[in-house]
Structure 1
Amino acid sequence: MTQDLYGLETTASRPDTLQAIDDFIHGFLAYQPKSAGVIAAADADPESPLVNAYAALLWMFLEHPVAPEKARPYLQRAQAARGANAREQEVIRAVGHWVDGDVPGLLAACDKITDQWPRDLAMLKLAQYHLFNIGDAAGMLRMALKSLPEAEDIAYTHGMIAFGYEQCHLLDRAEAAARRAMELRHDEPWAHHALAHVMLTEGRVAEGARFMESVVETWTDLNSFMRSHNWWHLALFYLSQGRHDDVRQAYDQHIWGLEKDYSQDQVGAVSLLARMEFAGVDVGDRWGDVADHVAARGQDTVSPFLTLQYLYALCRTDRPEAAELFKAIEARSADTTAYDHAAWAEVALPAARGIAAHAKGDWATAIRELGMALPRMAECGGSHAQRDLFEQIHLDALVRDGRASAAQQVLEMRRTYDPDGVPLNLMLSEVYEKTGLPDLAKQARARAERTLASV
C-alpha cells in the first residue's frame, strides 16, 4: 500500500492519482492553487476512493449554494469505490456529512479521524474551518493540539495551532507557535496570518506592517483567498497608519480582482471598502464592481458571516437585490431544524436589520439592532479582526446619531489595541470636542499627527 506525503496509507495505486492527493493535501494546507488538480485526477480515476472524496471536498469550499450539487457526484463515486482502507472510509463519511449539511456530524467524524491519525492534517484543517465558522475557538485549539507530537515536524501544524491560540486570546503562545512554523517553513502563510492577528490585537501596528511587508513576496503564487487575505491584513495596518495611497494600492492590486466570483475575495473587498470609508479614505467608484459580483450570488445564505457582508455591499450601493437577500435571511432564520438556527435567528437577523438601517441613515435602529447582535457575533463565524467590521458599523451609527458620550466609550476601549491609530484618534478628537473636552481632543489629534509623521 502506498503512502501520502505525510506517511498516511492510501489505496491510490496510480502515480498520477497519488501525486494529485499529495498536491491536494499540501495545496490545501499551504493555500496553493495546485490543490485544484484533484478534480481532473478524480475524473481520470473514478474508482479511486480518496481522490474522489477530496474532489468533493474541494467543491464544498466553493462556499456557494451550488456546492453540494457539484460535490455529490464525486462523493457518490468515492462511496461506491471498493477497497478503501479504514482511514479513507472515515474521510468519505466526513465529507458526506458536509455535503448533506450535517456540520455536527462532520466535526465528530474529523475528531475520530484525528484521534487515530494525528498526521491527517487535511482533516484537522477541515475541522478548524468549521469550528471557526461556528465561533468555537477553544475547539479550534483543542483540535490543533491533538496533532502533537506526531506532526511536530510539519510547519502547517504549528500555523494551525498558532491561529487556535490567537482566537483564544492566548497571544504569547500564538506568536511562539507561528514563529515555530516559520522556523520550519519561512513561507508558511497561515503563520504569517496568525502573527498579523497577534500584532494587530496588541497594537504593534508599525511592526506588523514591517513584518507583513517582509514576507509579502512569498504570497505571490498562493490561491486568491490567502494572497488577498494576507494583503487585507497588511492593509489594516496601513489604515491605522493613515497610509491612504498604500491602502488603495493594496486593494486594487492584491485584494480585489484575483477571483471576483469567490466568496472570500468578495467579503474581503466589502469589509476593506467599508473600513476605508469609515477611516475617511476616498474609495471612488470601487463599490460598483464589488456589488455587481455580490448581486450575482442571489439569495446566498450558506454562511451568516458571509451573507451579512454581502448584504452590506448591496445596501451600501442601494441595489434592489438587497431586499431579496434580506428576505432570504429571514427565511433562513425561521428554519428551526438547522444546527445553526440560533446563530441565524438571534444574531444574524438583528445584525441584518442593523445593516439595512445603517444604509438608510436610520441610526437609532442600526444602533439598537447591531447592539443586540454584537455580543454574540462570534456565533456567525469570522475572526476577531473580521468581525470588527460590525463593531465599526455600530460605532459609525453612534457618531452619526450624535451619541458622543457612547462613542467616546467605544473609541477609548478600541484605543487599548490601536493606541496611535490615525483614524481612531481623529474620530476621538471630534468626539471629545463635541463632549466639551478640548484638551483631550488636542491630545488625540497629536497622537494621530505623530503617527502620520512617522510613516
Structure 2
Amino acid sequence: MVFTDRRGLALTVSGSRAAAIFDQAVDEVVGFQGDPVATLGRALEIDDRFVLAHYLSAMMNIIGNASSRLDEAKLSLEQVRQSAHLATGREQLHGVAVEAWCDLKLERASNLYQKILSDYPYDLMAMFAGHWLDFYRGDAQSLRGRIARALRAWDESVPGYHWLLGMYAFGLEETGQYRQAESCGRQAVELDSGDAWGVHAVSHVMEMEGRPEEGVDWLETTCSG
C-alpha cells in the first residue's frame, strides 16, 4: 500500500504507523538526535518489506564510509531486492543511489540524489545524503548550491525547514559567505533550538572570523544543539 510521509511524499509501506516511525528515523538522522537505528528497527518490525526504510538503513551504515559497515549496508539492499519493483520510482532511485555509494561511486550517487531532489525537493532523506556526499567529496559549491536550489520550494510551513536553513548556512560558510551563513544559521536555531546544523555553521563562522569568545558563548547557550 502507499501512504505518505509528513511532507506528502509517497511511501510504499503496509501502514501509517510504520510510515510515521520512518519519518521519525529520518528526522533523527538529519538532526543527529535520538537513536535512529532503534527507531528504524521499529518501523521494520512492523513491515520488513518497507523498501525505503531498508535504503535508509543502508545509508546509515555507509555514511561514515567505514568499510566495516559495508557488508551491513549491502545486506539491507539485498533484503528488498526482490520487492523493490513494487516501490515508487522515487524510492527505487534511492536504492540505485545508495547502491552506487556502497560501490564507492560517489559522484554517481551524488548526481542520483540530485535527480531525486529535482523532482521531489521535499525529500529530506535525499537532501541529507546529497549534502553529506558534497561535504565528503570536498565540493563546497554543491554543498551550498544543492540546498539553495531546493530551498526555493520550501518555507516554514514544511516540516524540517529549519534543517534546510542550517545545512544551507553550512554551505554558505564553506564558500566564505560568512555574513549570510551566520544569519541563516541563527534563523535555523531560532526556529528550532536543537538544530545542530545551524549551531555548527554559526560556530564555524565565529572560528573563521577570529571571534573565539563569542563562539564559546554561542556554544554554551545552544548546548542542546
Pair in the same fold by TM > 0.5: yes
Matches within 5 A, 1:102-251: 102-153=105-156, 154-216=161-223, 218-219=224-225
CA deviations over 1:30-85 (Å, ceiling 9, x no partner): 11133212145335523221111111111113542122201112112233214201
CA contact (8 A) 1:137 1:164 kept: yes
Q: Give, in whole Å, the separation in 1 of the partners of 2:208 and 2:88.
A: 44
Tell me the residue number matched to 1:75: 77
Once the two structures are TM-superposed, the CA of residue 107 in structure 1 deviates from its matched residue by 0.7
* Larger relative contact order (CA 8 Å, sep ≥ 6): 2
Change (3 A) 1:55 1:95: same
Describe the SS at the equivalent of 2:81: helix
Q: Give, in whole Å, the separation in 2 of the partners of 1:197 and 1:120.
A: 27
Mark the runs of 5 or more structure 1 residues left unpaired by the alignment.
220-455
Supply the AA of the counterpart residue of 1:176.
S
Q: Give, in whole Å, the separation in 2 of the partners of 1:20 and 1:127.
A: 22
CA deviations over 1:89-141 (Å, ceiling 9, x no partner): 11111111111221111011011001111111221111111111121100111
Mark the runs of 5 or more structure 2 residues left unpaired by the alignment.
none
Q: Give, in whole Å, the separation in 2 of the partners of 1:43 and 1:208.
A: 43
- Residue 45 (structure 2) pairs with residue 38 (structure 1): no
Tell me the residue number matched to 1:19: 20
Change (3 A) 1:75 1:43: farther
Supply the AA of the counterpart residue of 2:97.
A
Supply the AA of the counterpart residue of 1:29.
V
Q: Give, in whole Å, the separation in 2 of the partners of 1:156 and 1:75.
A: 27
CA contact (8 A) 2:121 2:153 kept: yes
Tell me the residue number matched to 1:55: 57
Percent identity, please: 25
Once the two structures are TM-superposed, the CA of residue 158 in structure 1 deviates from its matched residue by 0.2
Change (3 A) 1:39 1:105: farther
The alignment yields a C-alpha RMSD, in angstroms, of 1.6
CA contact (8 A) 1:20 1:51 kept: no
CA deviations over 1:297-355 (Å, ceiling 9, x no partner): xxxxxxxxxxxxxxxxxxxxxxxxxxxxxxxxxxxxxxxxxxxxxxxxxxxxxxxxxxx
Q: Decide which structure has the larger Cα Rg and report it.
A: 1
Describe the SS at the equivalent of 1:2: strand
Q: Give, in whole Å, the separation in 2 of the partners of 1:54 and 1:144.
A: 20
CA contact (8 A) 2:13 2:49 kept: no
Describe the SS at the equivalent of 2:151: coil
Tell me the residue number matched to 1:3: 4
CA contact (8 A) 2:162 2:195 kept: yes
Describe the SS at the equivalent of 1:203: coil
- Residue 101 (structure 2) pairs with residue 98 (structure 1): yes
Supply the AA of the counterpart residue of 1:21.
F
Aligned residues: 218
Supply the AA of the counterpart residue of 2:73.
A
- Residue 96 (structure 2) pairs with residue 89 (structure 1): no
Q: Give, in whole Å, the separation in 2 of the partners of 1:170 and 1:200.
A: 14
Once the two structures are TM-superposed, the CA of residue 13 in structure 1 deviates from its matched residue by 2.5
CA contact (8 A) 1:38 1:51 kept: yes
Once the two structures are TM-superposed, the CA of residue 191 in structure 1 deviates from its matched residue by 0.3
Q: Give, in whole Å, the separation in 1 of the partners of 2:11 and 2:185.
A: 30
Change (3 A) 1:115 1:101: same
Supply the AA of the counterpart residue of 2:10.
E
Task: Say which is worse superposed, 180-189 or 87-96, in terms of deviation.
Answer: 180-189
CA deviations over 1:258-300 (Å, ceiling 9, x no partner): xxxxxxxxxxxxxxxxxxxxxxxxxxxxxxxxxxxxxxxxxxx
